[in-house]
């Protein structure tokens, strides 16, 4: 394959050589000034100053004009963008003073999205999800995790996971699917929570494995969903079957993060309710703490304790939680910038949370940094200084996006 030199860039922020856990100072960020990237066969072959790379013989050039800052493609490690319908009624109730739990008890919440998603045919669901994936790509997200969980039956969960896989094949964005059939117990299931979880294990997960639809299983542990006592045997069995586990943990109450630490979950997501005890446990564990500022903004709740988690030694990722109910905005960059200001995160910590540490949350060592041998997923901002990206709090968007080394979005 032909080698191609892309650049020059005013700054390249490769996100390399940073600690995998704990605080990150801006001074720790490597910066290549007036740099370029050599791409070959979808991967980064070399990264250095433009002057050094320009001397390489037999390389074609993709010239970038004007001042640009280059970074790794962003990774949104927690979304629910495969859905049909709207939850605008939930929104109106919420801003009128009703709580998330009160809305669910009144018949709204997740079940509304389940009803809409079940009623949607596969083609409609596919088109809706593709539209959202394209918007993410335009915002610089080159890899997105997408959960099922609005089907809550064997047939409808499989439909969702098939759609998620199809979007990744049809659009210029990688989709990482997660089975969240354990979102809530469906209203039309006759048994209790434990019986429903057993049904997932016995009837759904073997079909998922047979079709190779995902290797990840999630569960929502909360008063309106599943208690810790029912979740533990479910998660242990999913692990025994070969699935990697992640948990919706400590959103409104604690207990789930402790279970996740005990089981060695890949990530613990939400954590808004985590207290000092939970923060210390997470910080000393191998679990990635995935905080979701979009849910806090959507629900009018405090942010997860991101600063305390970092100071306790946690690996902190930041994701949008884009979903039709609690987090309909879906703007990862803006949410990360706003949370960074509120939680006093350094620019480096915020950027790590949506690149290299987000890759860790999904177990993807081949991306999240710009380094020889890694996937050439890259984004360029119209800036001279990388700090402008957070300074403008999400209003500055990338004007160029490369996916696997191919330019898929160029400024007009």
pLDDT in tens, 245-296: 999 999 999 999 999 999 999 999 999 999 999 999 999 999 999 999 999 9
Give the 3-state secondary structure of residue 246.
strand
Dist CA 282 CA 191 (whole Å): 33
Residue 408 pLDDT > 60, yes or no? yes
Dist CA 307 CA 78 (whole Å): 20
Rounded to 5°, angle at Cα 401 from 397 and 405: 160
Q: How many CB atoms lie within 10 A of CB 195?
A: 12
Rounded to 5°, angle at Cα 176 from 108 and 165: 85
Name the token pair of 152.
């809550």
Please state, in angstroms and as integers, the Cα–Cα distance from residue 211 to each residue in 157, 192, 207, 308, following that order. Answer: 13, 28, 6, 41
Dist CA 130 CA 266 (whole Å): 27
pLDDT in tens, 307-366: 999 999 999 999 999 999 999 999 999 999 999 999 999 999 999 999 999 999 999 999
Residue percentage of the chain with pLDDT more than 90: 94
Dist CA 238 CA 241 (whole Å): 5
- Interacting residues of 223 by C-beta distance below 8 A, sequence separation 6+: 101, 252, 253
Dist CA 34 CA 352 (whole Å): 22
Give the 3-state secondary structure of residue 210.
helix
Cβ contact 310:316 at 8 Å:
yes
- Under the banding of pLDDT at 50, 70 and 90, the label for residue 57 is confident
Name the token pair of 121.
């045919």
Dist CA 163 CA 79 (whole Å): 14
Cβ contact 175:167 at 8 Å:
yes
Residue 72 pLDDT > 80, yes or no? yes
Report the chain's C-alpha Rg in angstroms. Answer: 21
pLDDT in tens, 172-223: 999 999 999 999 999 999 999 999 999 999 999 999 999 999 999 999 999 8
Please report the pLDDT score of residue 187 as a whole number. Answer: 94
Which stretch of DSSP H or E encloses residue 90?
A: helix 88-95
pTM (2 decimals)? Answer: 0.97
Please report the pLDDT score of residue 412 as a whole number. Answer: 47
- Under the banding of pLDDT at 50, 70 and 90, the label for residue 137 is very high
Please report the pLDDT score of residue 411 as a whole number. Answer: 62
């Amino acid at each position: 394959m032909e080698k191609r030199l892309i650049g020059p860039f005013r700054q390249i922020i490769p996100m390399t050589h940073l600690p995998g856990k704990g605080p990150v100072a801006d001074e720790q960020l490597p910066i290549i000034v007036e740099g370029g990237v050599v791409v070959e066969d979808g991967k980064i072959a070399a990264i250095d100053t433009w002057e050094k790379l320009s001397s390489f013989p037999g390389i074609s050039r993709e010239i970038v004009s004007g001042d640009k800052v280059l970074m790794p493609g962003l990774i949104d490690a927690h979304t629910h963008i495969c859905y049909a319908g709207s939850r605008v009624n939930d929104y109106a109730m919420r801003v009128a003073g009703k709580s998330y739990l009160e809305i669910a008890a009144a018949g709204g919440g997740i079940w509304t999205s389940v009803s809409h998603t079940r009623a949607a045919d596969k083609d409609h669901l596919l088109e809706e999800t593709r539209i959202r994936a394209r918007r993410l790509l335009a915002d610089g997200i080159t890899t997105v995790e997408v959960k099922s969980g609005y089907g809550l039956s064997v047939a409808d969960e499989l439909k969702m996971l098939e759609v998620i896989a199809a979007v990744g094949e049809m659009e210029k964005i990688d989709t990482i699917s997660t089975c969240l059939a354990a979102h809530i117990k469906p209203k039309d299931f006759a048994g209790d929570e434990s019986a429903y979880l057993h049904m997932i294990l016995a009837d759904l997960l073997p079909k998922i494995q047979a079709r190779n639809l995902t290797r990840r299983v999630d569960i929502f542990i909360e008063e309106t969903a599943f208690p810790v006592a029912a979740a533990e045997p479910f998660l242990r069995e999913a692990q025994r079957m070969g699935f990697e586990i992640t948990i919706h943990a400590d959103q409104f109450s604690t207990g789930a993060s402790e279970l996740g630490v005990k089981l060695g979950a890949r990530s613990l997501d939400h954590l808004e309710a985590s207290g000092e005890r939970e923060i210390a446990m997470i910080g000393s564990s191998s679990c990635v703490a995935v905080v979701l500022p979009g849910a806090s903004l959507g629900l009018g709740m405090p942010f997860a304790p991101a600063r305390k988690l970092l100071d306790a030694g946690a690996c902190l990722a930041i994701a949008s939680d884009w979903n039709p109910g609690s987090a309909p905005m879906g703007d990862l960059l803006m949410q990360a910038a706003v949370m960074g200001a509120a939680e006093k995160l350094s620019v480096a910590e915020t950027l790590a949370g949506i690149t290299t540490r987000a890759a860790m949350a999904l177990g993807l060592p081949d991306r999240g940094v710009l380094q020889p041998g890694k996937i050439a997923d890259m984004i360029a901002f119209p800036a001279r200084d990388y700090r402008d990206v957070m300074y403008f709090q999400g209003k500055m968007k990338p004007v160029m996006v490369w996916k696997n080394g191919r330019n898929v979005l160029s400024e007009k």
